[in-house]
Amino acid sequence: MKILEHISDMRRWSEAERCAGRRIVLVPTMGFLHEGHLSLMREGKKLGDRLVASIFVNPAQFGPNEDYSAYPRHLERDRGLLEKEGVDLLFRPSAEEMYSAGHRTYVDVEELSSVLCGASRPGHFRGVATVVAKLFNIVRPHVAVFGLKDYQQFRIISRMVEDLNLDVELIGHPIVRDEDGLAMSSRNAYLSEEERKAALSLSRSLIKARELVSQGERRSSVIIAAVRAEIGKEPQVRIDYVQLVDAAGLRPVERIHDEALLALAARVGKARLIDNTILKPGP
């Protein structure tokens, strides 16, 4: 596996691959890889001729009181895991390489960025959209794979690609969970054993919501109350939000007509965790 740290080298490699007619797939990550990330790599491998993974803990998407410096990092382990998945190239620029001292340009995807996680993390999605736009311009992938665990992020990037006419195809990959149901996340590393048990109430609450919908419940207020009650059984879990929104525009819905996104965020110990599921009526 080739490893590049400089934008100019990355560009040169991509240009050569494109000229040779090869299809480049990009999977952007912040590292500290788990099965969720690796599952994206496996999907990416099938979608083109060359698979590029990036590892970049993006300072622009962390708030001043967030965990940028504490965010878990383990490059040697990540490198071994990517190699095993057959990744062709790892792009791992430094923060200085990506953001020069004079950097002043940001991508702001309006409305979609200020709801759900955007409400409690102002500026977060501006940082995400900016770095993804930069990675697309540097790596020049034909296809990019993102996880639907970060559903809002996927919607925002899709909007950006459409609005800025970016020439890249986006693929959304389903949430990968541990056997006990917890959505995999690098931030799960922050959880003690006890906190981890408490965090299982998040995925349990989503299952509860799906059961209610399959029994015919359509009212958001009832579904949200049931989700909150399930999570509320674990006093260690502090809910940030539980919302039912339309899956495309992320605007709150009062009833489920067709596809709705049930999204939640909660704090457990030091970790802020997110999870979601799509709810749809019918069998």
Residues assigned a catalytic role: 37
Pairwise CA distance, residues 247 & 187, whole Å:
25
- Would you say 30 or 166 has its CB closer to ligand AMP? 30
Pairwise CA distance, residues 204 & 229, whole Å:
11
Rounded to whole angstroms, what are the CA distances from 228 to 232, 241, 262?
6, 9, 12
**Are the CB atoms for 90 and 135 separated by under 8 Å?**
no
Closest-by-Cβ residue to ligand AMP is 147
Rounded to whole angstroms, what are the CA distances from 233 to 144, 200, 203, 207, 223?
39, 11, 13, 15, 16
Q: How far is the CB of 29 from ligand AMP (least distance, A)?
A: 4
Q: How far is the CB of 174 from ligand AMP (least distance, A)?
A: 7
Q: How far is the CB of 69 from ligand AMP (least distance, A)?
A: 16
User: From the CB of residue 220, how many other CB atoms can be counted at a distance below 10 Å?
Assistant: 20
Q: How far is the CB of 43 from ligand AMP (least distance, A)?
A: 10
- Would you say 138 or 224 has its CB closer to ligand AMP? 138
Closest CA to 138 of 12, 254, 282: 12
Q: For binding to ligand AMP (CB under 6 A), which residues are involved?
A: 29-30, 36-37, 40, 146-147, 149-150, 173, 175-176, 183-186
- Would you say 37 or 142 has its CB closer to ligand AMP? 37
- Tokens 């054993």, located at residue: 193
Q: How far is the CB of 226 from ligand AMP (least distance, A)?
A: 24
Radius of gyration of the chain from its Cα atoms, rounded to whole angstroms: 19
- Would you say 92 or 149 has its CB closer to ligand AMP? 149
- Would you say 185 or 201 has its CB closer to ligand AMP? 185
Q: What are 75's two structure tokens?
A: 């490059």
